Amino acid sequence: MDMDVDEYATSPPRGERDAPTRPEHDSGGKEVNVQAYTVEQVAETLQIGRDKVYFLLRTGQLHSIKIGKLRRITDRHLAEFIASLESADEKS
């Protein structure tokens, strides 16, 4: 299966394809899809270990939600974490 560069750049990483989505509504009443990832999916996406993801959660560097006993990291949480790394990198 050959994939051109544009398709590859816009396709989600392997662990994200099967992530559950949950529709939400923004203040304008439009429906917005929210991706919610498992710790394992985030670890694979960031190419770090599960223990490191749990460390980031424990220390408050990465945020998550709990659904019953399940912990999920939303796409917004992941984007905020990456943005914080980028801004910290720019300061140094």
Question: In angstroms, what is the C-alpha Rg of the chain?
Answer: 15
Q: Is 64 exposed, middle or buried (0-12, 13-18, 19+ CB in 10 A)?
A: buried
Map out the domains of the chain as residue ranges.
13-91
Task: Name the burial class of residue 52, with classes exposed (0-12), middle (13-18) and buried (19+) by CB atoms within 10 angstroms of its CB.
Answer: middle
Average pLDDT of every residue of the chain: 81
Task: Report if pTM > 0.85.
Answer: no
Quick one: pLDDT band at residue 21, thresholds 50, 70, 90?
low
CB 31 within 8 A of CB 43: no
Which residues are paired to 36 by β-bridges?
74
The one-letter code for the residue type at 28 is: G
pLDDT in tens, 31-48: 778 899 999 999 999 999
